[in-house]
Structure 1
Amino acid sequence: MHATPFQIAVPDSELATLAQRLRHTRWPDEYADEPWALGTDMAWLRDFVHYWATGYDWRAAEQRLNAEPQFIARPGGLRIHYLHRRGTGPKPYPLVVTHGWPGSFVEFLPLLEHLCDPASVGADPADAFDVVVPSLPGFGFSERPSRPGTSAVQTADLWAELMRGLGYERFGAQGGDLGAYVSIELARRHPKNVDGIHLNFLPSSYDPSLDAAAPLTDAECAFLDEKTQWAALEGGYAHVHSTRPQTASYALNDSPAGLAAWIVEKFRAWSDCDGDIERAFKKDELLTNLSLYWHTQTIGSAMRFYWENRLQPLRFAAGERVSAPLAFARFPKEISRPPQSWIGRVFDIAQWTDMPRGGHFAALEQPALMAEDIRRFFRPLRG
Structure 2
Amino acid sequence: MPRPNSDVHAFRAQATDAELDDLRARLTAARLPEAETVQGAAPGPHRWDQGVPLADLVDVVNYWRTGYNWRSFEQRLDRIGQFRTTIDDLGIHFLHRRSPRADATPLLMTHGWPDSIVRFIDVIDELADPSDAGAPAFHIVVPSLPGFGYSDKPAATGWGTEKIAAAWVELMGRLGYDRFVAHGGDWGGNITTVLAGRFPAHVLGIHTTFAEGPPALTTDGLTDVERAWTEETRDFWRHRAAYAKQQATRPQTIGYSLVDSPVGLLAWILDKFAEWSDTEDSPFETICIDRVLDDVTLYWLTRTGASAARIYYESHNSLDPELRVDVPAALTMYPRDVEKCPRPWAQQRYRQIVRWREPATGGHFPSLEIPEYFVEDLREGLAAVLAATR
Could you tell me how far 1:224 is from its partner in structure 2? Answer: 3.4
Could you tell me how far 1:207 is from its partner in structure 2? Answer: 5.2
> 1:270-349 maps to which residues of 2 (within 5 A)?
270-310=276-316, 313-317=318-322, 321-347=324-350, 348-349=352-353
Could you tell me how far 1:187 is from its partner in structure 2? Answer: 0.7
Could you tell me how far 1:113 is from its partner in structure 2? Answer: 2.3
3-state SS of the aligned residue for 2:360? coil
Q: 2:208 aligns with which of 182, 188, 199?
A: 199
Could you tell me how far 1:94 is from its partner in structure 2? Answer: 0.3
1:138 aligns with 2:147: yes
Q: Distance in 2 between matches of 1:157 and 1:94?
A: 17
Q: Distance in 1 between matches of 2:324 and 2:263?
A: 44
> For 1:312-342, what per-residue CA distance to the aligned partner results, in whole angstroms no more than 9, with x for missing partners?
611323xx53111111111121112221111
1:97–1:132 Cα contact (<8 Å) kept? yes
Q: Distance in 2 between matches of 1:62 and 1:148?
A: 31
Partner letter of residue 217 of structure 1? G
Could you tell me how far 1:193 is from its partner in structure 2? Answer: 0.4
The equivalent residue for 2:366 is: 362
Could you tell me how far 1:221 is from its partner in structure 2? Answer: 5.3
The equivalent residue for 2:44 is: none
Q: Among all aligned residue pairs of Structure 1 and Structure 2, give the percentage whose two residues are the same amino acid.
A: 40
3-state SS of the aligned residue for 2:109? strand
Count of residue pairs brought into register by the alignment? 372
Q: Distance in 2 between matches of 1:210 and 1:14?
A: 49
> For 1:130-170, what per-residue CA distance to the aligned partner results, in whole angstroms no more than 9, with x for missing partners?
01000000000001000000011100000000001111111
1:47 aligns with 2:59: yes
1:129 aligns with 2:138: yes
RMSD after superposition: 1.8
Could you tell me how far 1:188 is from its partner in structure 2? Answer: 1.1
1:11 aligns with 2:16: yes
Q: Distance in 2 between matches of 1:352 and 1:168?
A: 27
> For 1:208-249, what per-residue CA distance to the aligned partner results, in whole angstroms no more than 9, with x for missing partners?
1568xx874344655433222111221111111111111111
3-state SS of the aligned residue for 1:322? coil
1:196–1:324 Cα contact (<8 Å) kept? yes
* Deviating more after overlay: 244-253 vs 171-180: 244-253
3-state SS of the aligned residue for 2:380? helix
3-state SS of the aligned residue for 1:52? helix
1:66 aligns with 2:78: yes
3-state SS of the aligned residue for 2:207? strand
2:213–2:347 Cα contact (<8 Å) kept? no
Q: 2:246 aligns with which of 235, 240, 247?
A: 240
Q: Distance in 1 between matches of 2:134 and 2:337?
A: 29
Could you tell me how far 1:346 is from its partner in structure 2? Answer: 1.0
The two structures have a TM-score, normalised by structure 2, of: 0.91
2:222–2:344 Cα contact (<8 Å) kept? no
The equivalent residue for 1:98 is: 110
The equivalent residue for 2:191 is: 182
The equivalent residue for 2:122 is: 110
Q: Distance in 2 between matches of 1:84 and 1:262?
A: 29
Q: Distance in 2 between matches of 1:263 and 1:257?
A: 10
3-state SS of the aligned residue for 1:67? helix
Q: 2:93 aligns with which of 72, 78, 81?
A: 81
Could you tell me how far 1:370 is from its partner in structure 2? Answer: 1.5
The two structures have a TM-score, normalised by structure 1, of: 0.93
3-state SS of the aligned residue for 2:263? helix
1:352 aligns with 2:356: yes
Partner letter of residue 349 of structure 2? V
* Deviating more after overlay: 330-339 vs 263-272: 330-339
Partner letter of residue 306 of structure 1? Y
2:213–2:348 Cα contact (<8 Å) kept? no
| Residues 72 and 91 (structure 1), Cα distance of their counterparts in 2 relative to 1, 3 Å cut | same
Could you tell me how far 1:303 is from its partner in structure 2? Answer: 0.4
1:33 aligns with 2:50: no
Q: Distance in 1 between matches of 2:220 and 2:298?
A: 42
1:150 aligns with 2:124: no
Q: Distance in 1 between matches of 2:213 and 2:101?
A: 40
1:207–1:314 Cα contact (<8 Å) kept? no
Partner letter of residue 54 of structure 1? T
The equivalent residue for 1:376 is: 380
* Deviating more after overlay: 95-104 vs 54-63: 54-63
1:207–1:315 Cα contact (<8 Å) kept? no
2:328–2:354 Cα contact (<8 Å) kept? yes
The equivalent residue for 2:25 is: 20
> For 1:64-117, what per-residue CA distance to the aligned partner results, in whole angstroms no more than 9, with x for missing partners?
222111100112231000000011323110010000011110221111122101
Could you tell me how far 1:369 is from its partner in structure 2? Answer: 1.4
Could you tell me how far 1:33 is from its partner in structure 2? Answer: 2.6
Q: Distance in 1 between matches of 2:215 and 2:261?
A: 43
Q: Distance in 2 between matches of 1:45 and 1:273?
A: 17
